[in-house]
Structure 1
Amino acid sequence: MKTVQLVKHANEDWVYVGENQKLQNPLVIVFGNRLLLEATTIYEEIKVLFPDGHIVFGSACAEISSNTVNENSITITAIEFEKSQFIIKTSNVLNTDLDSFKTGNDLIQQFPEEGLKYVFVVSEGSFINGSQLTKGMSAPSNNNLLITGGLCGDDTRFEKTLASYNENPKEGELVAIGFYGDSLEITFSIHGGWTPFGPERTVTKSEGNVLYELDGQPALDLYKTYLGDKAKDLPGAALLYPLNVKSTGDEQSIVRSILNINEDDNAVILAGDIKENSKVQLMMTNVDNIANASERAARQALEFRKNKPDIAFLVSCIGRKLVLDQRVEEEIDEVIEILGEGTTVTGFYSYGEIAPFHGETACQLHNQTMTITLISE
């Protein structure tokens, strides 16, 4: 496997991260600031760099490369596979009835089943119900296909997200990359580093990803009470205090970010579904816990591998980036140090992370986590 990485900041030229080498028919993954990806010439500009490339775009809250976190920029990772093949499929939720389960189901069923080892998903992050999307993607294989990825981001603007394949990035787009090859070895892990605090409450009214009541009280009022002075900064402030959700019948609790609020209904809108009768607690974290969680995820992903990974796909959450602030590079440095030289690192900060729980196979939507997928040929 050969890789090339480039980074471009606003009004600057492309800069190579590491060496420049000629690639044939590469997979070209482009993560970048949404405002920069809106340039009408962006696809043609990258097509000049990689004329025979298969170019996948996704807007990000920040991009991850082999040596740092890039902000207000565009990062390209181009990959030439020597023994493996990939197929790219797309869907657009603006062209459907916004049935997220059906969107995910239909997207995965576009792939030929024989030899399909793994799917990496770059999904739009504005309209999609990530919980239903992941259930739909897992359904055709009865949860036996490894799927990881994330929901595109737009920093703290929350205005719109963009994605595409071999065209200028656009709204509503989902892109899935299916990997085929007998020699492929793929491992993954996921960790958060957040700690529940305060009383546990019961969801007494919810619908899909909208939380209306906790213990019979308006959810938004309760949340504002906990936030105190920080409530004036909603919805952005909510990313620092996600919810720990334990649903009846589920073995593991899941973290849910609050992406928006509805003042009229006194409700909060989450990144994924929240079932009635679930138990909910607020969560908090600090820089050390986040960095330690990233290190644990890297060690766990490496644990049972036979071969050194050629490439690592990292998807972390915007909430983690906000907690880390000026120290955002620390969690990526932890991962890079564990993986060691020879592994190309790429990825992005997202509105939601897609991966199974460690040790499981059914992909789910997570928030506030670091997900790591390691690939070798």
Structure 2
Amino acid sequence: MNSHSFATQDPRDLEVKVDACINHQFQPTLAIVFCSIEQDISTIQVIFQQRDITCVGCTSAGEICDGSFFDQSIVCLLLDPEPSTFRIYESSPDQECTHQQAVDLGHFALSCFEEPASVVFSGGFSVNADNIIDGFKTAFGDLNRPIFGALAGDDLQLSRTLVFSNTAISDNALFALIFDNQKVRCEGIAISGWEAIGTVHTITRADGNVVHTIDDQPALDFFIKHFGYFSSAEIRKQSLENMSTQYPLQIIKENGNRVLRSPLIGNEEDGSLTLAAGVREGDQFRFSMSPGINVIDQTLTEFSTFHEKHAAADAMLLFSCKGRHSALGPFIGDEIKGVYEQWEKPLIGFFSYGELGVDDQGYCDFHNETCSLLLLREC
């Protein structure tokens, strides 16, 4: 499978670069596009409609192309798989239940291919990403599946995130690119590098992504007691960028897997703590923190280990948490470059509000503060 990746600052230049890639040896059938919420998505759609290229993508909180990252730009990956090896899924605009959207997506994938691999993009701020995971489990029966993707971003405006295809745009839907995994192999891994600290605690009362008590103490008070680095006045104006990057909760799953959940908002009135994704009463966790700049070395070491067993790729997608970017600052570029240089294949990605990816055992989950990599390879 041939592929080309590039970044651009506006749709006019996107059109020029798409045409420059097309020749008698490369006739792309698929375009994956990530772009700033400030870009003209309608014009982007027309570019691919006119060239009979299937398009899917979403808005972002920063864009990634090969070994670099950008702001308020457009990144595009052109591919030429056989059209019979992939499908696009768009959840019904009438279906607002995220769990049912994911169930429907899973059933659609199974109706298309015996062994589907799903690349999922979610728009909207009302999404509880754990409902996506639960929906997939309902549809597939288990989570030992090649499921990747991310929650769309909007340059940290925290107002409106979008998913799109050739003809549709939505701010409350699940869109997905479904591959026949027997024809286009999808392999990847999600890595955080965050280190667990302190003892194990228990979430004793929670409702979705709102944690009311930890160890039977008001969750916000518990958090402040451990990490009292802001005053009450500051709590009221905490945002995704300056709160979620500090000390995410490392949730210990029943199967032993660990996923990060970032604190977003502290509610002084009821003492609750809102996380970036859902948890359950009885979940155990340890707080975690970045080991500083060493997190990049640790992450790249883990990607190197993955590369030893999965060296072949035709193209790559990289979903990196915006909170991770905020925590690492400009050093995030070293991580992106380090991942790209291990494979040196066309790569695009974006900074997201949450990541879907698989662990080293192949189990899919939803993550925060994580870097999720997907390799695409024609079989």
Partner in structure 1 of residue 30 of structure 2: 27
Partner in structure 1 of residue 95 of structure 2: 96
- In the superposition, relative to structure 1, how do residues 252 and 5 fare at CA in structure 2: closer, same or farther (>3 Å)? closer
Deviation, 1:283, is 2.0
Query: What is the 5 A alignment of 1:154-169?
Result: 154-167=154-167, 169=169
In the alignment, residue 62 of structure 1 is paired with which amino acid?
G
- 1:211–1:270 Cα contact (<8 Å) kept: yes
Query: What is the 5 A alignment of 1:206-217?
Result: 206-217=206-217
Partner in structure 2 of residue 228 of structure 1: 229
Note the alpha carbon deviations across 1:19-55, whole angstroms, 9 max, x for none.
7233435211110111225x5534224545xx11111
In the alignment, residue 141 of structure 1 is paired with which amino acid?
F
Deviation, 1:265, is 2.8
After superposition, the CA RMSD in angstroms is: 2.8
Deviation, 1:67, is 3.2
Partner in structure 1 of residue 108 of structure 2: 110
- 2:248–2:261 Cα contact (<8 Å) kept: yes
Deviation, 1:278, is 2.2
- 1:148–1:356 Cα contact (<8 Å) kept: yes
Deviation, 1:298, is 2.7
- 1:28–1:77 Cα contact (<8 Å) kept: yes
Task: Please give the secondary structure, in 2, of the residue aligned with 1:291.
Answer: helix
Deviation, 1:324, is 1.9
Unaligned runs of 5+ in 2: none
- 1:196–1:284 Cα contact (<8 Å) kept: yes
In the alignment, residue 138 of structure 1 is paired with which amino acid?
K
In the alignment, residue 21 of structure 1 is paired with which amino acid?
I
Query: What is the 5 A alignment of 1:138-177?
Result: 138-143=137-142, 144-167=144-167, 169-177=169-177
Deviation, 1:273, is 1.9
- 1:297–1:370 Cα contact (<8 Å) kept: no
Query: What is the 5 A alignment of 1:2-21?
Result: 2-9=2-9, 13-14=13-14, 16=17, 20-21=21-22
Task: Please give the secondary structure, in 2, of the residue aligned with 1:35.
Answer: coil
Task: Please give the secondary structure, in 2, of the residue aligned with 1:321.
Answer: helix
Deviation, 1:319, is 1.1
Deviation, 1:171, is 0.7
In the alignment, residue 177 of structure 1 is paired with which amino acid?
L
* % identity of equivalent residues: 25
Partner in structure 2 of residue 296 of structure 1: 301
Deviation, 1:132, is 1.8
TM-score, normalised on structure 2?
A: 0.87
Q: Which runs of 4+ in 1 moved over 6 A?
A: none
Deviation, 1:183, is 4.3
Partners of 2:376 and 2:337 lie apart in 1 by: 19
Unaligned runs of 5+ in 1: none
- 1:301–1:373 Cα contact (<8 Å) kept: no
Question: After the TM superposition, which of the residue ranges 74-83 and 330-339 deviates more from structure 2?
Answer: 74-83
- 1:117–1:180 Cα contact (<8 Å) kept: yes
In the alignment, residue 21 of structure 2 is paired with which amino acid?
N
Deviation, 1:12, is 7.8
Partner in structure 2 of residue 356 of structure 1: 358
- 2:5–2:347 Cα contact (<8 Å) kept: no
Partner in structure 2 of residue 365 of structure 1: 366
Deviation, 1:264, is 3.7
Partner in structure 2 of residue 56 of structure 1: 56
Note the alpha carbon deviations across 1:65-124, whole angstroms, 9 max, x for none.
1231121111111211159611111115x63353x2222111121132543341111112
Number of residue equivalences:
368
Deviation, 1:16, is 4.5
Partners of 2:103 and 2:302 lie apart in 1 by: 28
1:255 aligns with 2:260: yes
- 2:67–2:333 Cα contact (<8 Å) kept: no
Partners of 2:183 and 2:95 lie apart in 1 by: 37
